[in-house]
Amino acid sequence: MMNDKSRRMNFGVIVGNRGFFPDHLARSGRTEILAAIEKAGYEAVAVGPEETKHGAVETRVEAARCADLFKRRRDAIDGVIVTLPNFGDERAIADTLRMADLHVPVLVQATPDTPARMTIRDRRDSFCGKMSACNNLMQYGIPYSLTTLHTEAPDSEIFRRDLDWFAAVCRVVRGLRRLRIGAIGARPAAFNTVRYSEKILEANGISVEPIDLSEILGRIQRMGDRDSAAVAKLESIRRYVSTDQVPAEALLKMAKLGAVIDQWMEQTQVAISAVQCWTSLEEFFGVVPCTVMSMMSENLMSSACEVDICGVVGMHALQLASETPSALLDWNNNYGDDPDKAVCFHCSNLPKHFFKSARMDFQEIIAGTVGKENTYGTCVGLVKPGPMSFARFSTNDREGAIHGYVGEGEFTDDPLDTFGGAGVVRIPKLQELLRYICERGFEHHVAANLAPVGAAVHEAATRYLGWKVYQHAGPS
């Protein structure tokens, strides 16, 4: 199931108004916010001036009309923007959201006053009205997000950045609710660290669809060498990464594995996956699944190794926020004596998006056990430098909740002579983060993404999904 990036995000818009403040500000404010949303590449759902006074919301009747519109467009609305071009009626705003009952993120924006226009004709008092609106939302138990500055003009660059941030928050919330994950194979016996609770995930709207590895291998066995799906997958593998050093027999096995997984995911409507690797596929099938998984992640269908279901949730959250591929990495090595640097590594199934350049090779760690000829299929290369975000979520059985951490840093261009997929990461106060990970018993796997979206993931997870997530200090 491919993510539909062609769909434009849609925001419900509530324009606040209050009768004893200048009405013309509500009228012009509605025009300004809709223009800002359109310019940013999003769509809006809002009542018009023929339905309510100036297309704003002030009375209980107007609140009901706006709520009815939102309910009719429920499936299309990703989030709601409350705009305050003047003080606004806090009750009408809260009532609209309560009656609409959308359970989507809410962003509260207030338009600044101009010092030279503070007469009774043009004074907004949105600065004050925002506090009243938020107070009422808190009383109603409706979660909401805030702009970077207390007041921001709709046509300002800072509001444009906040709008993009809010869109990322909405994508994460929408994408993690009712998420279906494919668990392909059993957890490797040697990896207690990837244990998780299906029941806790299900309670948070995330379903896991398992399939035994024997079923995957059985379907592969029934698939002919000239099967159209296998042939198409083989061609896509050869286009995806350099395969010059890889035997044709191994490539065909990978193609069949990829084709069968694609068919199963389509049949079961799972969006992302976690795959058993170590070392069943190598011993009993003769390849590693890394390239197949890399291609899925590259196509925004995140795939984690070692059946790390919670790991792929982190990958998916970052991918939803950035709309770019994520990877699952190990916090693997120190980098010299720099306390803020570490080596992040996997064997690897990193998406091609992460690499300076990549080639297909064999898995050097497992090869010593099962033989080189049975371990072709890794994607090998160094991670390109640039900003990055990281995330880890886990099911905490003792508390019956999802816990996690997120943060941001950067991949550097430091030299690294190693195998697999690897990069040097710099994270401010890394030692504090490592202590946090160890003290709270988090796994050695971490999801990474080449975009600074940690704050959006944190907002979505904590404010709207109710998860307990620590946000580490950002780049210095």
pLDDT in tens, 36-57: 999 999 999 999 999 999 999 9
| Residue range 119-127: mean pLDDT, rounded | 90
- The whole-number pLDDT of residue 5 equals 55
Domains of the chain listed by start with CATH number: 10-176 (3.40.50.10940), 179-471 (3.40.275.10)
- The whole-number pLDDT of residue 122 equals 87
- The whole-number pLDDT of residue 119 equals 82
Does position 265 have pLDDT exceeding 70, yes or no? yes
| Residue range 277-282: mean pLDDT, rounded | 88
- The distance from CA 103 to its chain's CA centroid, rounded to whole angstroms, is 18
Does position 3 have pLDDT exceeding 50, yes or no? no
- The whole-number pLDDT of residue 277 equals 85
Backbone angles phi, psi at 454, to 5 degrees: -60, -40
Mean pLDDT score across all residues of the chain = 95
| Residue range 446-463: mean pLDDT, rounded | 98
Read off the pLDDT of residues 204-215 as tens digits, 9 standing for 90 and up: 999 999 999 999
Does position 473 have pLDDT exceeding 90, yes or no? no
Comparing 78 with 277, which gets the higher pLDDT? Answer: 78
3-state helix, strand, coil in the chain (%, to 5): 40, 25, 35
- The whole-number pLDDT of residue 75 equals 96
Picking from 88-92, 128-132, 270-274, 471-475, which range would have the lowest pLDDT averaged per residue?
471-475
Instruction: Give the list of residues 6+ apart from residue 317 with CB closer than 8 angstroms, or none.
Output: 172, 175, 176, 391, 393, 447, 457, 460, 461
- The whole-number pLDDT of residue 120 equals 81
| Residue range 208-233: mean pLDDT, rounded | 97
Q: What percent of the chain has pLDDT over 70?
A: 98
Does position 161 have pLDDT exceeding 90, yes or no? yes
How many CB atoms are closer than 10 A to CB 438? 10
What are the helix and strand counts (H, E) for the chain? Answer: 15, 18
Q: What is the DSSP string of 200-264?
A: HHHHTTEEEEEE-HHHHHHHHHHS-TT-HHHHHHHHHHHHHSB-TTS-HHHHHHHHHHHHHHHHH
| Residue range 331-342: mean pLDDT, rounded | 98
Confidence of residue 2 (pLDDT cuts 50, 70, 90): very low
Q: What is the DSSP string of 109-162?
A: EEPPP-TT--STTT---HHHHHHHHHHHHHHHT---EE-SSSS--TTSHHHHHH
